[in-house]
Structure 1
Amino acid sequence: MSLNHYGAHCQAMHGAPLYIAETSPAQIRGTLISLKELFIVLGILFGYLIGSLEIDNVGGWRYMFGFSAPIAAIMAIGMWTLPPSPKWLLLRAVQGKGSVEDNKKKAIQALRKLRGRSASEKVLTDDIDDTIVSIKAAYAEGSEGNIWEIFEGPSLKAFTIGGGLVLFQQVLIL
């Protein structure tokens, strides 16, 4: 796996769930993130199956990567059409990097593009207002976290499970 391919894979693996979480309705957020993972695994499986059929030929491994190239190109084009995350726009406004009203309008437009023209104006506005309130509340607390908090309380359990899964995955690869 080349470094460029690995970098693109990492961005899709780590950036996409964040974007999905920031843009999708709460009731289907987990489903959408799980579907993203499913499609990645299916893509790897199909690439492996096609590559394994041609592996005996000289350069047969290229089929495995060639099969995924058109899909990656479609995905890259699709990523350029995505609007900025509404939460990111609102965060910039709260941080003073733009006017709240302008960024609120941009966030509503981005949400409308993501959720379709049929999305209710009231639902979109309420969603944006709730996001602004939660961002301002997070800033109002004023307490900065520190790295040691991951070793306390519920964070420790999540850290242990997540770290264990990553470790187990790497052990299986070896």
Structure 2
Amino acid sequence: MKKIFSYIAFFAAIVLLISAYSERVMKAEKGYTAPEIEMLVNDSVEVSLSQLRGKYVLVNFWDSENAVSRIAAGEYDRYFRNKTYTEPFTILSVNTDSDPKFFKEVVKKDNLEASTQFHITDAKMKNLEADYRLNHGFASYLINPQGKIIAVNPSISCLQTYLTGS
């Protein structure tokens, strides 16, 4: 009888550990908790993905030399500025250009909302590259208010579906 209780306790402990760990699994794929991102603003104030919980967040990785990702950054920016959505929503648009001055010029030239545009250094890029699998190309991730990825490379109509309920 003691042996049976020992087995039950052992399996209960395993189930508890697995269920506790499963919420922390972070993978850049639909259905998983989004890996943390932290951005410096004015070299001091940080904006982080965890601070934005409770809102839908679109994390968009782009580079000025990659035409597809640059065009997507502009489309997402226009959607964000139009404010046709009804759910709380923000964008973290992450640029990977090697030259921060060039990045700032592109933001001005493309008329992008500067408050949602962030440039990252090579050191930060290495962490994000692994977490968000950017070695497979630039991507965008729509994250729900609970921090789960609900769409990868969402179209504007996909954003409208989630953010307006229509």
* Short-chain TM bin: under 0.3
From the CA coordinates, give the structure whose radius of gyration is larger: 1
- Pick 1 or 2: higher relative contact order, CA cutoff 8 A, min separation 6: 2
TM-score (norm: length of structure 2): 0.26
Q: Which has the higher helix share?
A: 1
TM-score (norm: length of structure 1): 0.25
